[in-house]
Each structure stands twice: as C-alpha cells, then as structure tokens.
C-alpha cells in the first residue's frame, strides 16, 4: 500500500494539472474537441459511403461494421486523451535530454513517462462513441453476456493496444530523430482501424502474432459478437502479457543505450 | 543581379537536402511509411470487397480499375502530401525566426527551399515506387506523356499543399498548438480527396460541393490524370491549382504581416 501511495498522489496531481491547463488554454480545448469530432466523422463517412454501394464487407453487415468503427474510435478517444501525448513527449524528451529528470525521480520510469501528460478534452467524445456503440449494439442484438463483459473487454483491448505501442515507442531509444517511431506507431493504429478479415492471410498472421495490433480491435469485437469465442480474449490477454514483459526488457535495454543530450 | 539571388536559393536547397537525408531511416519512417500503409490498407479492403462478394463493378470501377486507382493514390500522396513544415510553428513560438528577420533571405524562402529539396528527394522515391509497382504488375506501364503530365500536375499541387501548410504554421503567432489544424486538414483531405474511397462513390450532392473546394485536387484529380481517365484539360486543372495556391499564399502573406507585429523575439 505504501508503495502505491506516491503513484496515486502523482496521478491525482496530474489530473489537477490537466484540468488547470484545460481551463487556462480554452481555445486549445476547443481545438482538441474539434480533432476528436473530425476523427469521428472521418471514420464514419468512408464506411457509410462504402455501404451505399455494398451490402456486406466480409462477414459483417452495416451495423456490425459500424459497431466495430465506433469501438475502435472509443479506444482512440481514450488513447488520445491518456496515452498519445506521452509518446510524443517521450520522443521530445529523449531528443532534448529532458528524460534525465524523469529518471532521477523516485518513481518507475515507465509510469512517469506514460502519465506525464493527459488531455481530458479528448475524452469528452467518449460518451458519443459509447452512445453510437449502444445504438449499433442494439441493432445487432448483442447477448446479455456481451453487454455485461463489454467494459472489461474494452479495458483489456485498450491495455493491449497501449502495451504493444509501448514496445514500438521504445524504438525511439535507437532512432535518432524520434518522430519515426511515433509514425510507425500511428501506422499501426491505421491497421487496427479495420477488421482483421480484410487483410491478406500473411499480413493478418503477422499483425495478429508478431505485432498483434489486430488483437486489440478485431479480437475484442469478435468476442462481443460471439461470446462463445473465449479464445479471442485469452489470445488478447496473452498478447498483453507477452508484450508487457517484452516492453520491460526493451525499456531497460533502451535506458542503457540512452545517451543524455543534456549532460 | 540575379546571380547572388540564385546562389542563395541553390545553397539553401543543397543544405536542406543534406539535412533531410541525414537521418535516412527516420526520413523513410516519417514520409514513405504513412502513405504506404494507407494504400496497403485501402488496397486490402477493396480486394476483399470485390473478391468475397464477387462484385463486378462499384461506382463504375471494376476490381482492377479500383486497385490501380489505389496504387496511384500512393504515388500522388508521395508527391502531393508529403512536405513537413511542422517546424514552422515551433520556430515561431521559440523565437527562432529572428534569424530570418536579420538574414538576407526570407523565412518563406528558407521554407520554400526546404520544400524544393524535399520534392527532389520525393521524385527519386516516386521513380523507384512506380518502377516497383510496374515490376510487381500492380499497375500497367502508362504512356510517357501521361506520366509526365501527371507528375507535373502533382508537383504543382504539392506547391498548393505547401502553401496551406505554411499558412497553418504561421497561425502559431496566435495559437499555442497549430498541429491540430494540420491534423484536421489532413484527416479531411484523406477522406474528402478520394484517397481512401474514390470521390465517384460519394453521394452526388457531396461530389458537387467538393468541386468548389481544393480537396479533389489533392488526390482524385492527379490519380485520374495518371490513369488517363481524366476528362478535364490539364491546363484548366493547372489554373484551378494556381487559383487555390494564390489564395492560400495571399492569406499567408496577410497572416504573416499581422502576426509579425505580435512577435517578440526571445533570446534578444
């Protein structure tokens, strides 16, 4: 309990800082909401136009496909609000040497780096995604078990996504510019934005096992649609665990590789 | 009189070329990977739609025509939507543009040189990409005149994209974070320019509205020029591009004049 106390205090302070910043830079706040609105609309529009011309995409009809779109969109809302700014900040801190100050603090370095910044404005679109999820979920008549397990599956999917991205972000220790690793991470998001069945067999296998970005989006929704497919959840949990262990190893190797720019 | 001016430009372009190619791996990750992933995803999506449902035609596109369209969007994206001017807002906020107020070379000149250097590199990347697409039989060989016309128009449109990005960057005189505007514009471009779904599949009313915006110029039109399926004369298209470029440049000029009055050079 005493180990956890400093961490909870830091989180509390971070939330207070983020809210203070939110109130201080109101225009930025509005713009961040604009980003989320644009992101939601630009995810919905192509899928909607597509279904004006076709009945199904793969095994899914319009409602199922839209459910998937808003599921991933919800995950991206949480990602943009809680995690994404920290990845960019991490790259900048490695470049400038500001990471030194984080390493000196009496906190776990991964925790400190990944909770440095949050953007509550991005989280404000989460209820809209949730409403759309419920709307399309009702249309496809999800089972009670699916509704009950949905929050848990969502959290697990989000966690899996973050852990995989953490591994990719560790590339920043080795690439000089720093932005490159973030671009790889963003491209992985582009891949998980679409269901796994539309990828060719080899790509699907690669992105389900080697870099399992498809696990977080597709596997979780496949379980929601068919709750008898527990293997999807097990695989996703396994991916999260393996990639967490891998991230711990890569992070410690990266720290050894790190040459502070400020000292 | 022109000699020293040309020398300034060539020196700055050469310097930009060296700078951009210093971290080659990072360059590839930031500028070649995003359009490559985008086109791979859209290629896979369309192949899946056509193959699984055994559809013959969607919105006038056969399977092969759609997949060729997607391949050419990659080439158009490399040439048109690549320039990275995200340093501009940072330069303004951190007071780094002071140097350009003192140098005998303008800030716009420096960024335009960087843009030209970038386009030179991208022409090589595009040459390699087109060769690879042809060798992999993903697109057929096209007549040289069509290729030249497509490349010329794409380069002209790249200047339009540069003007927009420069304009967004200059807003840093007022805004803390200008990446938001660039990001939203980029999202809208990918959706509304036909980069993912061809504009021909959009509802009629939206297609009509888009004709009065620069979005179709940013992907759909250059791709149709490459495919040889464009019905409008290239001269007319070039004039449309020039109109939007002039408009964006005039706005940038106005914003610069207003913004520079607010600028306080840190470090002096």
What ipTM is given for this predicted complex?
Answer: 0.77
Helix axes B33-53, A179-192, angle to 10 degrees: 10
Contact criterion met (CB < 8 Å) for B37 and A50: no
Q: What angle do CA A150, A151, A155 make, to 5 degrees?
A: 115
CB contact under 8 A, B188 and A179: no
Residue B136: what are its φ and ψ, rounded to 5°?
A: -80, 0
Q: Which of A168, A198, A206, A207 to mutate to test the interface with B (most CBs of B within 10 A)?
A: A198
B187–A42 C-beta distance less than 8 A: yes
What's the structural domain count of chain B?
1
What count of residues does chain B have? 268
Each residue's pLDDT expressed in tens, for chain B with a length of 268 residues = 678 888 888 898 998 888 888 777 777 777 777 778 878 888 888 888 888 778 888 888 888 899 999 999 989 988 998 766 667 888 888 888 888 888 888 888 889 998 999 899 889 989 998 998 899 888 888 899 999 999 999 999 999 999 999 999 888 888 877 788 888 888 899 889 988 889 999 999 999 999 999 999 999 999 999 998 888 888 899 999 999 999 999 999 999 999 888 887 765 5
Q: What are the pLDDT digits (tens) for A182-219?
A: 878 888 888 888 888 888 888 888 888 888 888 888 99
Q: Chain B residues within 8 A (CB-CB) of chain A?
A: 23, 25-26, 28-30, 33-34, 37-38, 40-41, 44-45, 47-49, 52-53, 55, 58-59, 175-177, 180-181, 183-184, 187-188, 190-191, 196-197, 201-203
- Residues B48, A25: C-beta atoms closer than 8 Å: no
Question: B229 in a domain, yes or no?
Answer: yes
DSSP code at position A194: S
| Residue B168 covered by a domain | yes
- Residue A197 touches chain B, beta carbons under 8 Å: yes
Provide the pLDDT for residue B267. 57
> Is residue B96, in this structure, part of any structural domain at all?
yes
Which of helix, strand or coil describes residue B58?
A: strand
Q: Do B190 and A42 make contact, defined as CB atoms within 8 angstroms?
A: yes
Q: Is residue B267 part of a domain?
A: no
Comparing CB atoms, the residue among A52, A180, A194 nearest residue B41 is: A194
Residue A60: what are its φ and ψ, rounded to 5°?
Answer: -100, 140
Contacts A187 to B, Cβ<8 Å: 33-34, 37
Residue A179 has pLDDT above 80, yes or no: no
Residue B207 inside a domain? The answer is: yes
The domain containing residue B171 runs over which residues? Answer: 4-262
Which residues, 6+ apart, have CB-to-CB distance to B172 below 8 Å? B88, B89, B90, B92, B93, B178
Reading phi first (left if > 0) and then psi (alpha if -120 to 50, else beta), residue B23 is in beta
Indicate the burial class of A86 (C-beta count within 10 angstroms; 0-12, 13-18, 19 or more). Answer: buried
- Specify the higher pLDDT residue, A260 or B14: B14
* Residue B62: φ, ψ to 5°: -80, 175
A191 to B34: CB separation less than 8 angstroms, yes or no: no
**Spatial distance between the Cα atoms of A224 and B246, rounded to a whole number of angstroms:** 52
Q: Does A25 touch chain B (CB under 8 A)?
A: yes
């Amino acid at each position: 309990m005493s180990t956890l106390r400093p961490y909870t205090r830091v989180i509390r302070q971070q939330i207070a800082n983020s809210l203070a910043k939110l109130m201080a830079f109101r225009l930025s706040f509005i713009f961040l909401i604009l980003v989320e609105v644009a992101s939601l609309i630009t995810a919905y529009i192509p899928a909607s136009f597509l279904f004006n011309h076709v009945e199904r995409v793969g095994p899914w009809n319009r409602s199922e496909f839209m459910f998937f779109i808003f599921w991933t969109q919800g995950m991206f809302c949480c990602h943009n609000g809680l995690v994404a700014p920290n990845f960019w900040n991490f790259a900048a801190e490695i470049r400038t040497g500001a990471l030194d100050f984080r390493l000196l603090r009496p906190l776990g370095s991964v925790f400190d780096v990944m909770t440095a910044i949050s953007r509550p404005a991005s989280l404000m679109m989460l209820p809209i995604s949730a409403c759309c999820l419920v709307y399309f979920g009702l249309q496809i008549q999800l089972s009670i078990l699916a509704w009950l397990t949905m929050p848990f599956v969502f959290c697990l999917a989000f966690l899996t996504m973050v852990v995989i991205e953490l591994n990719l972000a560790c590339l920043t220790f080795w690439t000089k510019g720093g932005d490159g690793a973030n671009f790889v991470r963003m491209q992985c998001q582009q891949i998980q934005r679409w269901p796994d069945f539309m990828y060719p067999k080899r790509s699907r296998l690669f992105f389900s096992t080697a870099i399992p970005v498809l696990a977080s989006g597709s596997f979780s929704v496949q379980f929601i649609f068919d709750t008898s497919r527990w293997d999807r959840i097990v695989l996703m949990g396994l991916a999260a665990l393996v990639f967490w262990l891998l991230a711990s190893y890569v992070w410690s190797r990266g720290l050894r590789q790190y040459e502070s720019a400020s000292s | 009189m022109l000699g020293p001016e040309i020398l300034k430009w060539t020196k700055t372009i050469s310097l930009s070329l060296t700078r951009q190619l210093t971290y080659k791996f990072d360059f590839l990750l930031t500028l070649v990977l995003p359009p490559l992933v985008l086109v791979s995803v859209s290629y896979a999506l369309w192949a899946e739609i056509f193959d699984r449902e055994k559809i013959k035609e969607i919105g006038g596109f056969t399977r092969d025509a759609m997949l060729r369209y997607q391949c050419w969007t990659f080439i158009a994206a490399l040439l048109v939507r690549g320039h990275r001017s995200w340093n501009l807002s940072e330069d303004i906020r951190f007071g780094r543009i002071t140097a350009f107020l003192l140098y005998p070379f303008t800030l716009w000149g420096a960024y335009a040189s960087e843009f030209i250097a970038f386009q030179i590199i991208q022409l090589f990347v595009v040459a390699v990409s087109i060769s690879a697409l042809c060798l992999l039989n993903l697109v057929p060989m096209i007549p040289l005149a069509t290729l030249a016309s497509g490349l010329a128009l794409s380069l002209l449109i790249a200047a339009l994209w540069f003007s927009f990005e420069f304009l967004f960057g200059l807003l840093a005189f007022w805004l803390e974070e200008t990446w938001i505007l660039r990001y939203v514009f980029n999202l809208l471009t990918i959706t509304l320019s036909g980069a993912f779904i061809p504009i021909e599949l959009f509802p009629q009313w939206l297609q009509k509205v888009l004709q009065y915006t620069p979005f179709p110029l940013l992907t759909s039109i250059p791709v149709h020029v490459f495919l040889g399926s464009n019905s409008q004369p290239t001269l007319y298209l070039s004039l449309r591009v020039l109109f939007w470029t002039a408009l964006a440049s005039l706005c940038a000029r106005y914003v610069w004049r207003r913004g520079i009055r607010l600028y306080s050079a840190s470090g002096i």
